[in-house]
Chain A
Amino acid sequence: MKKADVPQEESMLEGHQRACYALDDQGRYVVVGSIGWEVEKVVNSQANDEVREAIVAALARVRSGSMSPLGYHMARRQMDVAMLSAYSGISRLRIRWHLRPGSFMRLPDALLQRYADALHLSVNQLRQVPEGDVHERL
């Protein structure tokens, strides 16, 4: 890739630059900053769309009463049961149990606090889902 061919396209880098290696006019490699590449943006959006779809689906399930708010907060933090288990030290089986609205409602404060710490939220945030359609990732 030549220096002039390093893409400078709109991207998810929010004004940051990415270091690319490219050839200068003498055929020597130099570092060239790139503000983004359409290709990167497409595959990055694909990954982010997936996160967003998971959040939308989780919120719908919480609203319909088939899942506890825990599932929504996990989706916002891009965590699955295995990852939340690693963060919280709570077994996967128990987390699955707590994803049911009924058992989540009855959780003691100490356990709620462990979930809140693992998800980096307050206990109050954890207990509910926000009003309105909040689908942004955290």
Chain B
Amino acid sequence: MSDFEHHHAAHCESGTVASLLRHQGLNLSEPMVFGIGGGIFFLHLSFVKMGGIPLTSYRDAPRIIIKNMERRLGVRWRQHRYRSADSAMRALDVFLEQGQPVGLQTGIYWLSYFPVDMRFHFNGHNLVAYGRQGEDYLVSDPVIETAVTCLAGDLRRARFAKGPFAPHGLAYYPEHVPADPDLKTAARDAIRQTAKRMTGIPVPFFGVRGIRSLATKLERWPEKLGTEQARKWVSSVVRMQEEIGTGGAGFRFMYAAFLQEAAELLKTPALAEAARDLTATGDRWRDFAVLGAQLVKNKRDDSETYAKLANLLRECADREQEIFTRLKTAV
């Protein structure tokens, strides 16, 4: 189907969902999908390691946005997983022949249309396949600025990437999209839940508590791990915040854009104010990334830099605690 409209997005899941919904006539911006999808979060799990590095995430679990579209907007999804790559690719061809664009979960390592330096084993990458060109596939990858052609072999391997978050060929599309969903209720519900999750989970791994515990741990990394390993870990936190495609500041700017839109939708000036404050917090997150990158690049390992980084994190945690506490009662 060639009438599929490609839009450049900051994040793969919100971008994929926004463009699949738009194709079915529900026109929502990426920040709106991200916000109603409850995408923003923070977690730092020192006991879950990927490649020896503790897991840090500025967003909620993969596929949470897809699930929340169902819960809050009444979008009904069809989702398929497959036993083999053969059956997964055959089924995809049938969808495309019927003119049905589908969202696919893929392993980014195998997608050769990405610059080689950005290809790491990460299996939670979402994209839309919307047609074929000879043997190959027409793909709208939200984080690439234009639609691309994806080699059939690449797509096949990417859909059956193995390891953590293995996609098992997952293909999905909205079977039913309400023409006029209740966006106001959805946005209110989403903001409340996100605010609770950011401030209210009583363990030191999630939300603002997670940010604070990362600050405490990060300060001790150089003595605990040695300077080289500590640098690697700082680098990985900055990557999760900026390099993987977050729209800037670990999704904070995109969430602020959502709050701005929600302020108009709900006629609630307090949300516009929260958007401004979250933007300012995002700027502090960017300062954290700049200092972290300096530490990585200049191989500076003075404890002073680590203390400064930790203090920036604490400042972000304080600001976010204040913003999300206000948001609990603002809507």
A→B interface (CB under 8 Å): 1, 6, 12-14, 16-23, 27-29, 31, 33, 37-40, 42-48, 50, 78-80, 82-83, 86-87, 120, 137
Contacts and interface: CB of A to CB of B under 8 A. Distances in A.
Tell me the dominant secondary structure on chain A's binding face: mixed
B242 A16 contact: no
Contacts of A17: 8, 145
B137 interface: no
A86 B162 contact: yes
Nearest to B248: A20
B225 interface: no
A56 B296 CA distance: 21
Interface of B: 8-10, 30-31, 51, 109, 115-118, 120-121, 143-145, 157, 162-163, 166, 231-232, 235-236, 238-239, 242-243, 245, 247-249, 253-254, 256-257, 260, 275-276, 279, 282-283, 286, 289-290, 292-293, 296-297
A42 B296 contact: yes
A1 B242 contact: no
Nearest to B144: A16
Contact of B297 (A16, A27, A31, A42): A42
A119 to B, nearest CB: 11
B257 A21 contact: yes
The 8 A-B pairs of least Cβ separation, nearest first, read A29-B257, A86-B162, A21-B253, A12-B117, A14-B115, A39-B293, A42-B293, A19-B10
Nearest to B258: A29
Contacts of B231: 46
A78 B243 contact: no
A39 B247 contact: no
B115 A39 contact: no
Contacts of A12: 115, 117-118
Contact of B243 (A14, A22, A33, A40): A40
B242 A46 contact: no
A33 B289 contact: no
B296 A19 contact: no
B14 to A, nearest CB: 11
Contacts of A44: 117-118, 239, 243
B235 A40 contact: no
Nearest to A30: B257
B253 A22 contact: yes
19 contacts: A13-B115, A14-B115, A16-B145, A18-B143, A19-B145, A20-B248, A20-B253, A21-B256, A21-B257, A22-B253, A29-B31, A29-B253, A39-B293, A46-B235, A47-B236, A48-B117, A50-B232, A78-B109, A80-B51
